[in-house]
Amino acid sequence: MHIHILGICGTFMGGLAALAREAGHTVTGCDTGVYPPMSDQLRALGIDLMEGFSVDQLSLQPDLFVVGNVVSRTRLPDGSAKFPLMEAILDAGLPYTSGPQWLADHVLQGRHVIAIAGTHGKTTTTAMLAWILEQAGLQPGFLVGGVPMNFGVSARLGRGKTFVIEADEYDTAFFDKRSKFVHYRPRTAVLNNLEFDHADIFDDLAAIERQFHHLVRTVPGTGRVVVNGLEESLARVLHAGCWSEVRSFGATVSDFTSVGEPHDFEVLMHGKKAGHVHWGLSGVHNQLNALAAIAAAEHVGVSPEGAGQALGSFENVKRRMEVRGTVAAEGGLITVIDDFAHHPTAIRTTLDGLKRRLHANERILAVFEPRSNTMKLGAMKAQLPWSLEQADLAFCHSAGLDWDAVEALGPMGARAVVSDQLDALVAWVAAEARAGDHIVCMSNGGFGGIHQKLLQTLQNREHPAQVGQGLQA
């Protein structure tokens, strides 16, 4: 089968492309704004990428068009279609489907699907679980919304019965407004956490809870729902109906709990010691992610002891507190870190996890762009000072916002800098940075290559840190 993927460079669609290629299908695709690591992965697989959504791609004559949720029926100000290829497909009556539906039909059918859902931590937890199963010899298939460093690819078919998938609550496609995860029909479903997000498609938290309930409805009676016992929202989801075994984690009274610091802790199952995790990750959020993965792995026969041992060699996912480089400064090093955090809660937990591991003389410089649809709408702008509480200095790239970032960050005073010019922001960060600083760049996009720009600017600067003033760069 020849499939042509519209929106191929998104993390999900890129993973789907990799799976289709591994299964022997001919795969081509198109997108805009291509950036690593996904572009690198696709080209390494020999997949032809095309820039834009031009009508001339019909000449490829694929057997099926697979449509990502980036594609819409939107019209530009001049009345022309934003996605002319999609309009041409519709006009010609050519066969098309969504990514999740193609995956369900051609990859997931007949597998023990383990779906990892939640507002935060989906990618990391999916990668953790895939690694646990791999170390246990189960040879799982997986699709992760990033590139796990233990594997080097975001997706593979696997030779075993299990398939681990990141289960996103975002909608499927312009022609299917259900959440992606309802297509996956998991036998094991992990509900990691749940709070309001995706303000562009959900009116409120209740609307997201309804989609999570739809996911729970698809789990068979012999399946398992793994749920974060700390989340009231998830309690409401289960109260709406659950027909499967439930295993909880995180709360004091749960099936799976932990004792110790996030980087070194005992795992308790039903109150009894069952395993131990000592690893390189930080933060309470990752400790909870680990418990979720361990509980899911136990459902397919992997002991908590074995799971804990596997996590000791877990290397996380690219763009999850990934060190992009260090620069020597007088008295020590300046470290530049890349992270995917973009929701206020994720920003806060990421910075809190880092703070726990730093020495007293080391600082956090948080550099972020409100790029997600939710953040662009300004629905959570008031939470930003709270999310950046652990940052010694915060730098916001405000380009493209319809709300006033200076006003939103006003409570932070001189600790915050705002600029709509990326180069100006880079210069400001570099001027402030000193030995022992950890510069954490947070975005769900490429962030204009800010990591390399910072490293180069820091290497080329002639003078050590200079103290700035005010909010506006």
Whether residue 344 sits in one domain with residue 224? no
CATH code of 400's domain:
3.90.190.20
Whether residue 203 sits in one domain with residue 291? yes
Cα separation, 149 vs 452, in Å, equals 20
Q: What residues in the chain have per-residue pLDDT under 50?
A: 463-469
Whether residue 243 sits in one domain with residue 392? no
Whether residue 209 sits in one domain with residue 148? yes
Tell me if 466 is assigned to some domain: no
Cα separation, 206 vs 335, in Å, equals 41
Q: What integer pLDDT is reported at residue 309 of this predicted model? A: 97
Residue among 160, 208, 153 nearest 181 (CA): 208
Residue among 98, 129, 125, 127 nearest 112 (CA): 129
Whether residue 207 sits in one domain with residue 152? yes
The domain boundary residue, chosen from 290, 311, 332: 311
The DSSP symbol for 464 reads -
C-alpha torsion angle, residues 259, 260, 263, 264 (rounded to 10): -90
Whether residue 343 sits in one domain with residue 437? yes
The domain boundary residue, chosen from 99, 124, 151: 99
Q: What integer pLDDT is reported at residue 100 of this predicted model? A: 97
Whether residue 271 sits in one domain with residue 379? no
469's tokens: 């003033």
Strands 224-228, 188-191: parallel, antiparallel or unpaired by DSSP?
parallel
Tell me the whole-structure pTM to 2 decimals.
Answer: 0.79
Tell me if 470 is assigned to some domain: no
Q: Which residue has the tokens 């036998």?
A: 187
CA 208 to chain centre: 17
CATH code of 131's domain:
3.40.1190.10
Whether residue 244 sits in one domain with residue 288? yes
Per-residue pLDDT reduced to its tens digit, 205-264: 899 999 999 999 999 999 999 999 999 999 999 999 999 999 999 998 999 999 999 999
CATH code of 81's domain:
3.40.50.720
Q: What integer pLDDT is reported at residue 7 of this predicted model? A: 95
Domain count, the chain: 3
Q: What integer pLDDT is reported at residue 112 of this predicted model? A: 98
Tell me if 467 is assigned to some domain: no
- Mapped onto helix, strand or coil, the DSSP state of residue 377 is coil
Tell me if 316 is assigned to some domain: no
Instruction: Give how far Cα 392 sits from Cα of 296, 440, 469, 473, Å.
Output: 37, 11, 14, 17
Whether residue 345 sits in one domain with residue 303? no
The domain boundary residue, chosen from 99, 128, 153: 99
Tell me if 465 is assigned to some domain: no
Domain span including residue 331: 322-460
Q: 463 Cβ partners below 8 Å, 6+ apart?
A: none
Whether residue 48 sits in one domain with residue 167? no
Whether residue 204 sits in one domain with residue 333? no
Whether residue 260 sits in one domain with residue 139? yes
**Three-state helix/strand/coil letters over 413-459:** HHHEEEECCHHHHHHHHHHHCCCCCEEEEECCCCHHHHHHHHHHHHH
Q: What integer pLDDT is reported at residue 467 of this predicted model? A: 41
Cα separation, 438 vs 458, in Å, equals 13
